[in-house]
Amino acid sequence: MMKKLVSVMLCLGLSACLLAGCSSDKADVADDPASSTIAQPIGGETESPVVEEPVAEEPEEPTPSGDFKILDNADAPEGFVYNELSGRLIDASIENQRPIAAMVDNEKTALDHFGLNDADVIYEMVNSLENNRVTRLMVIIKDWDKVERLGSVRSARTTNCMLAAEWNAVLLHDGGPFYINDYIKLDSIDNLSGVFARIKNGKPVEFTEYVTHDDLVKYLKNSTAIDTEYNSYYTGPHFKFSESNAMEGNTYSSEKDAVGTITLPFPHNASELHYNADENMYEYYEYGAAHVDGETGEVLKFRNVILQRASMGKYDDNGYMYYNIGGSGEGYFITDGKCVPITWNKPLNLEGNTQFFDANGNEIVLNAGTTYIGLIPDDTWSTMVIK
């Protein structure tokens, strides 16, 4: 069904009358879907993000070295394309398939997780200002037909809605505070909530909901309710990938080693990333132990790590919060045992991609593989340890 874009006025202190103007129905697509502005949040009293004007100078192109080469579908084997989320080969039949973005509970009771090793990108972010800033994971998967069991699934926050729109992903969750309501009404956000399998595991009911392969077949693959291919809200790939040596292939400055442990400032679960030099991967640890899949026992690991500094704001005194992810800021890119400072920029429209640049203004190039993106709160950024 054709849809109409509901534009949301950019203003972090939107009045009640503007909120009342948000459509509750999804109608026809506007001519320019990328023109919808981002509100963070819709409603609430916040400070506007500082937006830096883009630099007019033409950035230098990355300087190739060794076997560094940016992956291109023209070079892919017949019948395959490079996954735009990870740089890994996938069947060409799903080239235009939208990813899913599943909300996974990261409370200790929710462990063991299932299916996270199928991810292309995983975000970790604070989920509440209460509970010692417990985090939640947002798991983005392009080739979701391979998923057997994923979760456990929990509620979404407004930041997750914004990110799902940015990836043109279908958001999978189980409800959320009413602050998300105006977002999931938007035509650029498709979601499935509370329809997934309940699997008995001896835990309280809130820890028993999982996305299964049957769910994905029923609600996406064999359903016409949600378009499973990229639609007019899709604004293109986020990343460029190299098969290997991405760190060497760019002219980075201020490079430092990152071959030990990255201690992240998430106090509730004490997240860490440990460098495995034999595999050239960063293994995810929390609650004092390696994160392992509940079925395979495989350790969750990442080829690329992006740490994105962002300020937070709160909706109320119950812990409900959001990240300011529109505008620009600083961060780190870590791969190949090296760490370099970067900047990030997201246009002030809901569907615009967050892009990451090195100190010379070049868009960073990632190694093919899974990427961890940590949204690091501005007020604890200085406590992060990379060694």
Q: pLDDT for 265-284, tens place per residue?
A: 999 999 999 999 999 999 99
pLDDT at 258: 77
pLDDT at 34: 38
**Domain range enclosing 156:** 16-48+65-386
Judge whether 2 lies within some domain: no
Residue 374: helix, strand or coil by DSSP?
strand
Judge whether 169 lies within some domain: yes
Judge whether 41 lies within some domain: yes
pLDDT at 360: 86
**Structural domain total, the chain:** 1
pLDDT at 30: 34
pLDDT at 166: 96
pLDDT at 42: 54
pLDDT at 190: 96
Here the CATH number for the domain that contains residue 355 is 3.50.90.10
Paired tokens of 58 = 């033409």
Long-range contacts made by residues 131-134, C-beta under 8 angstroms, separation at least 24? 131/268, 131/319, 132/267, 132/268, 133/266, 133/267, 133/268, 133/377, 134/106, 134/107, 134/268, 134/269
Residue found under tokens 């023209």: 74
Judge whether 5 lies within some domain: no
Q: Return d(Cα 231, Cα 142) in angstroms, integer.
A: 15
Query: Which residue stretches of the chain have pLDDT < 50?
Result: 1-36, 39, 43-66
Judge whether 58 lies within some domain: no
Please give the DSSP secondary-structure letter assigned to residue 110: G
pLDDT at 243: 82
Judge whether 9 lies within some domain: no
Q: Return d(Cα 95, Cα 334) in angstroms, integer.
A: 27
Q: Kindly report, residue by residue over 141-171, the tens digit of the pLDDT.
A: 999 999 999 999 999 999 999 999 999 999 9
Contact 346, 352 (CB under 8 A): yes
pLDDT at 278: 94
Judge whether 111 lies within some domain: yes
Judge whether 373 lies within some domain: yes
Paired tokens of 39 = 């509100």
What one-letter code names the amino acid at 9? M
